[in-house]
Structure 1
Amino acid sequence: MNTKQAFLKFFHLTAVTAITGIFSISVIAQKPQDVIHVESYGKGDPVILIPGLMSDGSVWQQTIEQLQDDHQVLVVNVAGFGKTPKVAGTNLHKVEQAIVDYVNQHHIKQPVVIGHSMGGFLSLALAVNPNIEVKKAISVDGLPYIGAIFARTNQVTVDMMQPQAKGALAYFQNMDQQQLVAQTRQGLAIQATSQQAQQKILDFAAESDPVTVGQITYDLLMRDIRQELVGDKTPILMLGASGGFDTDEQHAAVESLYRGQLANSPNAQVQMNTHSRHFIMFDDAKWLATQIAQFIGE
């Protein structure tokens, strides 16, 4: 796999979409310049839902409907993704800090954090963040270090991926939204199975800010939290998807990669879905709902 193919693979595995028609019970008022905007649904023990690259919170529609009867569901929207207005200077660190600040300012006690792709990375980062206490974390097809997607090995380091990270930053810097849609279109086959879901991905890319996409792609490639997770006792569930691959050997390789990233986290478990593609909430919503319910209830 050459560098361009590897980058496309990474981009396609991290791009996410939205589902329309979601009904919000309440919206937490925030300043226009804030890098996150939070919607609140239901009452009960708190659950935070974080979308992935290019997605706003509506990607979690079915999960919200699943949880809101018994939980306060707090849905994060990131500036520059989907319908959430862009804010200059948005980056991964600011998004993580904004979630921490939100949790502390609103006195949210021991939330369960669930994230998809980029949001999955953030769910794990928040689990080891010393400024909040996460009860449990679920990562839906998001890794502690995404650089392994490029190298196809967990031996990869941030230093090794720095050229690709800089390339991604420059690549998106001068891109317009039409080009972002065209880029996204190239990887639809490994994103989701149905044409309806694939179209949602394209629609969502059309509303996202390419500069923000590039910056957060860079940030993901330049941050590795595998070592921070070593010995961490937070209960973690990694839900991986390998349905975009064809052979048993490929499925086994993906599972090995995922398990290797959490091998030294004592309370982490990995469950693989070999039929679903990256958007598990689209391809196998029932399986995802079951996994979430079982893990939260344990």
Structure 2
Amino acid sequence: MKKYIILIIAFLFSALCLNVFAQTKSYPFEVLKTGKGKQSIIFIPGFASSGEVWNETKTAFEKDFTCYTLTMAGFAGAEPQPNPSFENWKTGIANYIKENKIQKPIIIGHSMGGGLALAIAADYPELIGKIVVVDALPCLAALTDPSFKSKENNDCSATVNQMTAMTETQFYDMQKQTMPRLLQDTSKLETVIGWSVKSDRKTFAQMYCDFFNTDLRDKISTIKCPSLILLESYFINLKPAIEGQYKNLKTANFQYANKGLHFIMYDDTEWYLTQLNTFLKS
């Protein structure tokens, strides 16, 4: 009887430890799960954006899909975490997919989120069903410098120091000047600027520096899944350079928006949703 009681106590203790571990399991993002479809979509927002950037997209598809909408740690008011990096975030999302047994999800990523979609599909080709890249490039820096090479052990301290030294007013003014170059829909401007202002400044600076040093041009050759690349309207003028960056992605389907800027989901909504609907349900 005594042995039996000891075994029960040991079992309960183990269960408690497992439960505590499960509750404290940390990923580099907050996640909102909605919808009940058999096929899952993972939405990754762009640089300093909230998962709310996907609200209209999610509404259009959560009837037929289970949606996991991320907001990356330190962005748009989400709690920051130590040592943010593109690599850590890529690994964190892949681990979340594996540990939650999400079967062959579709990843939809905007801007830096599109870069993360490419990196995950390249490093874990058997894990992902499809990807949609919304206005992102394998190597942002190479658009202005085609000979760009990533630096190993890239030092981001100067960028971090510069960004963290800015006052709230200076930072807001910088974002207010920058955002109209990325977003034509003026009704969304203050919302998107607000996401930047609510972001942890150190995370903002570190990830800006880290993503600008990222080059996926060779890595994307290992992607096996269908890949829809949605690009802003101006990029049609840079088609050789854009598609040259993607030359190693053999599954790429390029589509250029009819109007608007970087936030395609806001600036050319009808076209954007039509492209997604065709690709997701094919």
Fold conserved (TM > 0.5)? yes
Give the Cα–Cα distance (whole angstroms) in 2 for the partners of residues 122 and 85 of structure 1.
20
**What's the TM-score, normalizing by structure 1?**
0.80
How do 1:235-274 and structure 2 match up within 5 A?
235-243=226-234, 251-253=236-238, 255-274=239-258
Say whether 1:136 aligns with 2:121: no
- Residue among 199, 203, 212 paired with 1:208: 199
Look up the equivalent residue of 1:58 and give its one-letter code.
E
Say whether 1:81 aligns with 2:75: yes
From the two aligned structures, give the one with the greater helix fraction. Answer: 2
Range that drifts further, 60-69 or 264-273: 264-273
Give the Cα–Cα distance (whole angstroms) in 1 for the partners of residues 131 and 25 of structure 2.
28
- Residue among 147, 160, 170 paired with 1:155: 147
Look up the equivalent residue of 2:136 and give its one-letter code.
G
User: 2:5 is matched with which residue?
Assistant: none
SS in structure 1 at match of 2:229: strand
User: 1:107 is matched with which residue?
Assistant: 101
- Determine if contact 1:193/1:277 at 8 Å carries over to the other structure: yes
Look up the equivalent residue of 1:74 and give its one-letter code.
Y
Look up the equivalent residue of 2:30 and give its one-letter code.
H
Deviations 1:206-238 (A, max 9, x none): 211111011111221222111011253221111
- Determine if contact 1:239/1:271 at 8 Å carries over to the other structure: yes
How many Å apart are 1:79 and its aligned residue?
A: 1.0
User: 2:268 is matched with which residue?
Assistant: 284
Q: Which runs of 5+ in 2 are unaligned?
A: 1-21
How many Å apart are 1:32 and its aligned residue?
A: 8.8
How do 1:179-190 and structure 2 match up within 5 A?
179-190=170-181
- Residue among 228, 251, 276 paired with 2:219: 228
Look up the equivalent residue of 1:72 and give its one-letter code.
T
SS in structure 1 at match of 2:30: strand
- Determine if contact 1:177/1:210 at 8 Å carries over to the other structure: no
How do 1:11-50 and structure 2 match up within 5 A?
31=24, 34-44=27-37, 45-50=39-44
Range that drifts further, 256-265 or 71-80: 256-265
User: 2:12 is matched with which residue?
Assistant: none
Give aligned pairs, total: 259
How many Å apart are 1:264 and its aligned residue?
A: 2.4
How many Å apart are 1:88 and its aligned residue?
A: 2.8
How many Å apart are 1:131 and its aligned residue?
A: 7.5
- Residue among 82, 86, 90 paired with 1:92: 86
User: 1:293 is matched with which residue?
Assistant: 277
- Determine if contact 2:258/2:271 at 8 Å carries over to the other structure: no
How many Å apart are 1:58 and its aligned residue?
A: 0.6
How many Å apart are 1:285 and its aligned residue?
A: 1.2
- Determine if contact 1:100/1:131 at 8 Å carries over to the other structure: no
- Determine if contact 2:131/2:227 at 8 Å carries over to the other structure: yes
- Determine if contact 1:166/1:218 at 8 Å carries over to the other structure: no
How many Å apart are 1:33 and its aligned residue?
A: 5.7
Give the Cα–Cα distance (whole angstroms) in 2 for the partners of residues 199 and 189 of structure 1.
10
Give the Cα–Cα distance (whole angstroms) in 2 for the partners of residues 71 and 234 of structure 1.
18
- Determine if contact 2:129/2:225 at 8 Å carries over to the other structure: yes
**What's the TM-score, normalizing by structure 2?**
0.84
- Residue among 111, 114, 118 paired with 1:117: 111
- Determine if contact 1:39/1:76 at 8 Å carries over to the other structure: yes
Give the Cα–Cα distance (whole angstroms) in 2 for the partners of residues 217 and 88 of structure 1.
16
Look up the equivalent residue of 1:217 and give its one-letter code.
Y
- Determine if contact 2:125/2:224 at 8 Å carries over to the other structure: no
Look up the equivalent residue of 2:129 and give its one-letter code.
K
Range that drifts further, 179-188 or 108-117: 179-188
- Determine if contact 2:125/2:225 at 8 Å carries over to the other structure: no
Give the Cα–Cα distance (whole angstroms) in 2 for the partners of residues 81 and 159 of structure 1.
25
Distance 1:173 1:223, change over 3 A: same
User: 1:14 is matched with which residue?
Assistant: none
SS in structure 1 at match of 2:123: coil
How many Å apart are 1:130 and its aligned residue?
A: 2.8
Q: Which runs of 5+ in 1 are unaligned?
A: 1-28, 244-249
How many Å apart are 1:183 and its aligned residue?
A: 1.6
